[in-house]
Amino acid sequence: MPDAPVTPRLCAFEHAMFARLPDIAFRLAEGDRAPSLVTRIDDQVALLPLRKIQREFGITDGSADAEMLGLVMRALDFVHELRPGDPIPGEALGTGEASWEPGPDHLRAAAARMRLQLAALFVDADGGSEAEVIRAAGRRADDFAKADPELLIAMVDDPARRGEIGASLTRAADDLGIAAGLPGLMALIEEAAADLAYVEALRERLLTPVLAIEKRVAAMCRLAPPGSGWRETLGRVERLMGLAVAALLQRFELVEAHAAEPVPLLRYLERHRQFIRAQRDWLYATLRGGWEPLLAAWAGIDAAEAAGGAGASDGRDRVWEVVRETYRFLAPRYTPITEWRSGGSARAAGTATPTPAGTPARANGAPRMVW
C-alpha cells in the first residue's frame, strides 16, 4: 500500500540566539562544503559552521537544539538550503519520503521495465507468437534491467505486443496469488515503480553523464603528448574516474539485482522498498555532494563547443580548468589510501580487505575508497 502521509517536522530552535540573528539560512559552504549557518552581521554575509555553533552557543549534547542541528546537517545532503520553519526532508528523518520527484517518463520507464521482466518470466514455453513477442530481441528477465528506457516504453506501448504481454502478466498474477488478477498486479507494479522511478532518474542525471565524462577523459588522455604534464594529469583523472564509476555502478547494480527478480520484489515489496530507498538516498546525496556542479561544468564545455562560441585558446583553457576541477573533486574522495596500524606500520599491500567501493566517508554521502 502507498505510504500514509507523514506530518512534517519543521526546522525550529529553542535557543534565543537563533531568533536574534537576522535572516538566517543553513547551507553548505563553498569549498569545504561544511554545513553552515548563513546570516548578516553589520551588512556583511557571515558563515558560521554548525559544529562551532553548538560550542559557541553552549548547546548541550542530547538537547532538542543539538538534535535539530544534527538533522539540519543531514538535511543539507539533500536540499540546497534550509530556513527556520521549513520542513526537514524525509531523507534526514528516515521516513522514506524523498525531497524531490522523478519525472513522468522515469515512472513510465520503471513500470515498463517491471512489466517486461515479469512477462519474460511467465512466457508460455509453447506459446508460439507470445514467446516470440517477449523474446524478439533475445531478452531474458534480467536483460531488461539495463535496457534503454525509451525502448522499454515503446515495447509496452506497442499494440501488437500488448495482448501477449498481458497474457504473460495474467499468469504472473496467478503465481503471485493476487485475488484481483491482472488489475491487482498492475496496481502493485505501479506501486513498486513509484520507488524505482527515482533510480531511473538518477541513472539519467548522475550515471549517464559521469560515464560520458569518463569516456571523454580517456579520449583526451590518448591524444595528450606522451611525457607531458597534461598527459600525467589526465592519467590521474582517468584512474580516479574509473574508481568513481565503479562505486556508482555498484549501487545501480545492487538495485538492478533486486529489480531483476520481480516476483520476490513484488511479493515482499515493503522489505525491498526500504533497500531501494537507501540506495536512492545514497545516490542522490552523492549527486549533490559535488557531482552536480562538476557535471554542469562539463555540460557547459559541450554547449560552448556545440555553439562554436569560444576561440580555440579560450576553449582549451576552459577544458583544462574543468579537468583540474575534476581532479580536485575526485582526489579526496576516491584516491586509495593506506591504513596505518597503531604501531606505525602500514597494512601490507595486497593483503588488505577493501571497504566496499564508494563507502561514504562524510555526512554528505561523498564516497571515499579506503584500503
One digit per residue, pLDDT tens: the chain, 371 residues? Answer: 555 555 679 999 999 989 888 889 999 988 778 899 999 888 788 888 998 988 888 999 999 999 999 999 999 999 999 999 999 999 999 999 999 999 999 999 999 999 998 888 887 544 444 344 444 444 455 567 778 888 889 989 989 888 889 999 999 999 999 989 999 999 999 999 999 999 999 999 999 999 999 999 999 999 888 888 888 999 999 999 999 999 999 999 999 988 888 999 999 999 999 999 999 999 999 999 889 999 999 998 866 665 554 445 566 788 899 999 999 999 999 988 765 555 555 554 432 333 333 333 433 343 332 22
279 assigned to some structural domain: yes
How far apart are alpha carbons 334 and 369 in whole angstroms? 5
pLDDT of residue 210: 97
Same domain, 254 and 181: no
Among 186, 218, 247, the domain boundary falls at 186
CB proximity list for 58: less than 8 A, separation 6 or greater: none
Same domain, 314 and 201: yes
- Percentages helix, strand, coil for the chain (3-state, rounded to 5) are 60, 5, 30
CB proximity list for 103: less than 8 A, separation 6 or greater: 201
346 assigned to some structural domain: no
Is residue 11 helix, strand or coil? Answer: coil
Question: In the chain, how many domains are there?
Answer: 3
pLDDT of residue 143: 64
Among 186, 220, 235, the domain boundary falls at 186
Cβ neighbours, 10 Å, residue 201: 22
10 assigned to some structural domain: no
112 assigned to some structural domain: yes
Same domain, 166 and 243: no
Strands 25-28 and 44-49: unpaired
240 assigned to some structural domain: yes
Same domain, 115 and 56: no
How far apart are alpha carbons 162 and 167 in whole angstroms? 9
| Domain hosting residue 87, numbered range | 16-93
Same domain, 88 and 215: no
Q: How far does Cα 77 stand from its chain's mean position?
A: 11
CB proximity list for 82: less than 8 A, separation 6 or greater: 11, 25, 26, 27, 72, 75, 76, 88
Same domain, 80 and 111: no
359 assigned to some structural domain: no
pLDDT of residue 360: 38
Three-point CA angle 297, 368, 370, nearest 5°? 150
pLDDT of residue 103: 96
For residues 48 and 37, the answer to whether their CB atoms sit within 8 Å is yes
**Strands of the 25-28 sheet, one edge to the other:** 25-28, 35-41, 44-49
pLDDT of residue 137: 41
Same domain, 86 and 129: no
How far apart are alpha carbons 132 and 259 in whole angstroms? 23
- Amino acid identity at 184: G
pLDDT of residue 6: 55
Three-point CA angle 290, 292, 297, nearest 5°? 100
Same domain, 209 and 315: yes
Among 164, 186, 208, the domain boundary falls at 186
pLDDT of residue 124: 59
138 assigned to some structural domain: yes
Same domain, 247 and 303: yes
Same domain, 318 and 206: yes
Same domain, 201 and 114: no
Comparing CA positions, the residue from 347, 344, 320, 325 lying closest to residue 336 is 347
89 assigned to some structural domain: yes
Same domain, 168 and 207: no
